[in-house]
Structure 1
Amino acid sequence: MVKLIASLLLLAVVAQAYGDFKCSLAVPEITKDWVDMKDACIKGMRNQIQEEINASYQYLAMGAYFSRDTVNRPGFAEHFFKAAKEEREHGSKLVEYLSMRGQLTEGVSDLINVPVSRRLA
């Protein structure tokens, strides 16, 4: 890490000496043409987010089942807890993508439907 910082500083000094170095904090202009997504694509992504969250809950339930003291299978439990985390991350990435594209301005509250009355085991 120290070598990286040193080489970046050296590069900045050399570039400044030759007059090629311009420091600007201006925000680049982002084109608005790419913001519009088709409704079918948005609906499909919202459905995929729901599927990822549902899969996460299923893996979480299986992990909880295998970690009970009457079943006691810690290896299986760990596997399913990791799988649940991975599915949640997939859903989060899709939410971030929709947010980046400006598609989460309305209807965010009904993006993820969580059934409250499900039993884990």
Structure 2
Amino acid sequence: LSADYEIQALSSEITEEEIFISNGRSALITTTSELKTNVKQFRLGGSWNLHERFTLRGGYNLPDLTDSDSWGASSGFSLYLPFDKFSPSVGYAFVLEPNRISNMHVFSISLKL
């Protein structure tokens, strides 16, 4: 079982330029502003070794702590193949995106080189 709490500090700089015309003369006006914000999220996950060659996994993600409806979930498994060379494994995960906008099926093949 594992859990983590993450705070991301985000900063953006916005520059706007306008041409101002007065009495037939033009002037370039430049305005720069900085936007700062932070994002807090909570993740919880776990895995269970059902067999020496098979592991089940599951997880929960709350990417916006101020919106309890923004959660996402994932589940998956790994199958460790019976070969000593490269220790190959095949993995699958189903990931439900935050706010349940869409979902993903993720397949992987891992080799230890």
TM class by shorter chain equals under 0.3
TM-score by length of 1: 0.21
TM-score by length of 2: 0.22
Higher RCO (Cα < 8 Å, 6 or more apart) = 1
Higher share of residues assigned strand: 2
Higher share of residues assigned helix: 1
